[in-house]
Structure formats: structure tokens, C-alpha cells
Structure 1
Amino acid sequence: MSVLVKICGITNADDALAAVEAGADALGLNFWPGSPRYVTRERARQILSVIPGGVLRVGVLVDETAAPVEGLDVLQIHGEGAQVPAGRWWRAIAAGKAIRETIEKTPGAEAFLVDTPSGQARGGTGRTFDWTLAAGLEAKVILAGGLAPENVADALAAARPWGVDACSRLERAPGVKDHARMRAFVRAVREWEERA
């Protein structure tokens, strides 16, 4: 089975199309106003309209569980206060020694995105963590936090996750993707799969 490749923090249709052309399996749109990658509902509808079928459309929410727009396939929930949403959802959890415990206490989540938050930032920090903390878990794990073309093969080898998620290290500026780096990231994942 292929590793799911998610590119998060998509803020415009051009970047969405470039991510799809690069081979991304999922695109994340951030609906948290505190993020430099925040998209309004109207902007999200424009972006979603260009994403072809077969590519997962992920809505990134903080302390909310209601889909802000139609057309999202999965909700990625950050924050401890959020209730369990209806439909498909992924729980974002902070990297640390309590990963396994958090997974065991979270029924119903399809997958768990393990990220490196920093202060008020709920992801997209560009900071990595000890990937072995996410290895050997009895759940679908998506590694996030500082992943880039240069280190994603090491992360995959260390944790053998179900998926990987990259954001800030694929950008020219916050919210503006570097199309060449997106292609390099997806290529690095697929090359690792061929060798593994």
C-alpha cells in the first residue's frame, strides 16, 4: 500500500493544482483564523472546485468539528476541546511520549496526525520530532512536523507511517507553495517506497 502524501496549507488554486500534478494524495485547507495559511470559506470553495476526484480534500479545524464548507472529504481536528465530528476525521496530536495513550483514548478517528506544535501554532512550524515515537502503533499514523524532501525518507524509515504531511518546508513564504519542492517531496516519498 502506498504512503498517503498530504500537502497542507493550500491557500490558492494554482498551488492546489501544482500539488495534484506533483502527485499529492491529499490537500489540506486551514480554517483556523490564527494561521498564516488561513482560508476563508469563499476562497476554500474556489480551491475545492479545481481539485479533481480521487484527491482527498482535508479541512483543518481547531476546536471545531463542523465542516465549514461542503466538498471536504475529511476533517483534521486540532485541539483538546473539540467533540467527535460526524463523518471521516483525523485527530491531530502533539508529538511526545503520550502518543499511544492519546490514540487509545480517541475512538472513531480514522487516522492520527502527529505534529510538532509550538506555542500558539497548531502545526506548520517546520519543527521535527523524534519520529521513532510514532513507530509501531496500532493505528493509521500521519507524520507531520518539519518534513521536507531532504528528510522525509529518514522519517519514513524511522516510523513506517500510513501517511506523511508537509507544509511550511514546501513554501517560498507562509501560504505560498514552492512547486519544485512539492514535486521533490512527493518524488522522495515514492522513491523511498520503491527501495523499502
Structure 2
Amino acid sequence: MRARIKICGVMRPEDGVLVAEAGADAIGLVFYERSPRYVSPERANEIIEALPPLVTAVGLFMDAAPDKVKDILGQVPLDLLQFHGAESAADCERHGRRYIKAVGMAGGDPWAVAKRHPQAHALLLDGHAPGAAGGSGQAFNWSQALPSSHRIIIAGGLGAGNVAEAIRQTHPWGVDCSSAVESSPGVKNGRKVAAFCEEVHRVERHTGHRFTG
């Protein structure tokens, strides 16, 4: 099973098309207003409308009030939710959608989060500290033992130069990249996106990567 590719922090319709055509399986739309990559529901709809078919739209939230998440879901046709804060399982499950739970690996415990979120569709392991926002470009120690009870998505500090090693060490379901493929926050760089996606595909061809979770 190949590693899926998610490019997060997409802010422009043309960038959604760019990353999809480069080979990304999913895009991340950030609804955390303090993030430099925040998008309004109106802009999110423009981005999704421009996407080619079969590309997953993931909405990222961080400790958002349930009514706010509900309001955005009423406006934006998201395929999957991603929760980056201290949300409980009940908080994540109340919306009746499949969700990804992020884990800050700089002091966080993915095993504990897996136990608290048995219904999570996947765990996204990022390099930041627990309770901090993602997109910081921080990597974590990939040699850590990772839960086998959930699909794992590796994020944090990934780029074309190191994603192959991350895949070799962790055998993830997917990889997630944001800042390393940008010209500036939220502005994706076509050359960097293409190099990242090609490197993921290259390591699969040469190592026969298989998801083991």
C-alpha cells in the first residue's frame, strides 16, 4: 500500500489544483484563525470547487467551539476533519464525520492519544509540542515506537530531502507537508511540491513501501 500524500495549508484555488496535479491525494484547509494559513469558509469553497475529482478536502480545527465547527460544516463540503488541539473523543465524534487526531510529538504520547481516540480514522504525528499549532516545520524522532492500532500520518519538518527516510523508518499510511513546499506562508511552490511528491513515489518504487499498521 503506497503512502498517501497530503499538502496542508492550501489558501488559493490555483494551489489546490497545483498540488493535486503534482500527485497529492488530499489538501488541508486551516480553519484556525490564528494561523497564517487560515482560510474563510468562502475561500475554502472556492478551493474545493477548483479541485480535480478524487482529491480529499480535510478541514483543520484547533480547540474550536462545537458550534463553530458545525457552522463551517454547514457551509463547506469537507471530506474529513482534523483536530489539532486538546479535543476529547466526544468533541471529535459529535459531528458524525470521520476524523484525524493530531499528536504533538515534542513531549506528547501517541499511545495515550490512541487509547483516548479509538474511533479516530488516523493519528497525525507532528513535531510540535502538545497544544501548539502545526505548520512549524519541526520534525520529531521517527524511531519512536508508534501505535499499531491506528493508521499513522507523519508530519512536521518533512520535505523532499527527508521524506524518503521518514517513510523507511515509520511505514506510514500517509505523509503531510506544508511549509517546506511554500514560497511564503500559504503560497505553494510548484517546483517544491512536485519534488516532494516525486520523492514519495520514488521511495515506494525502490523500497516497496507497505503500510504496516
TM range (shorter): over 0.9
Structure 1 residue 81 displacement after superposition: 3.3
Aligned to 1:94: 104
Aligned to 1:168: 179
Does residue 84 in structure 1 map to residue 83 in structure 2?
no
Structure 2: distance between partners of 1:30 and 1:77:
10
Q: Can you list the C-alpha shifts for 1:76-114, whole angstroms capped at 9, x where unaligned?
A: 011113502311110011114611121122121100100
Percent of paired sites with the same residue:
38
Structure 1 residue 121 displacement after superposition: 4.5
Does residue 73 in structure 1 map to residue 71 in structure 2?
no
Structure 1: distance between partners of 2:6 and 2:24:
6
Aligned residue pairs, count: 196
Change (3 A) 1:118 1:102: closer
Q: Which letter does structure 1 place at the counterpart of 2:140?
A: F
> Superposition pairs for residues 31-180 of structure 1, below 5 Å?
31-64=31-64, 66=69, 68=72, 69-81=75-87, 83-85=91-93, 86-95=96-105, 96=107, 98-117=109-128, 121-133=132-144, 135=146, 137-180=148-191
Q: Is the contact made by 1:7 and 1:27 (CA closer than 8 Å) also made in structure 2? A: yes
Q: Is the contact made by 2:6 and 2:176 (CA closer than 8 Å) also made in structure 1? A: yes
Change (3 A) 1:193 1:168: same
Q: Is the contact made by 2:111 and 2:147 (CA closer than 8 Å) also made in structure 1? A: no
Q: Which letter does structure 2 place at the counterpart of 1:107?
A: P
Change (3 A) 1:161 1:119: closer
Structure 1 residue 131 displacement after superposition: 1.0
Structure 2: distance between partners of 1:118 and 1:177:
25
Change (3 A) 1:121 1:97: closer
Q: Is the contact made by 2:85 and 2:132 (CA closer than 8 Å) also made in structure 1? A: no
Q: Is the contact made by 1:134 and 1:141 (CA closer than 8 Å) also made in structure 2? A: no
Change (3 A) 1:138 1:151: same
Gaps of 5+ in 2: 208-213
TM-score, structure 1 as length reference:
0.94
Q: Is the contact made by 1:29 and 1:44 (CA closer than 8 Å) also made in structure 2? A: yes
- Provide the secondary structure at the position in 2 that maps to 1:158: helix
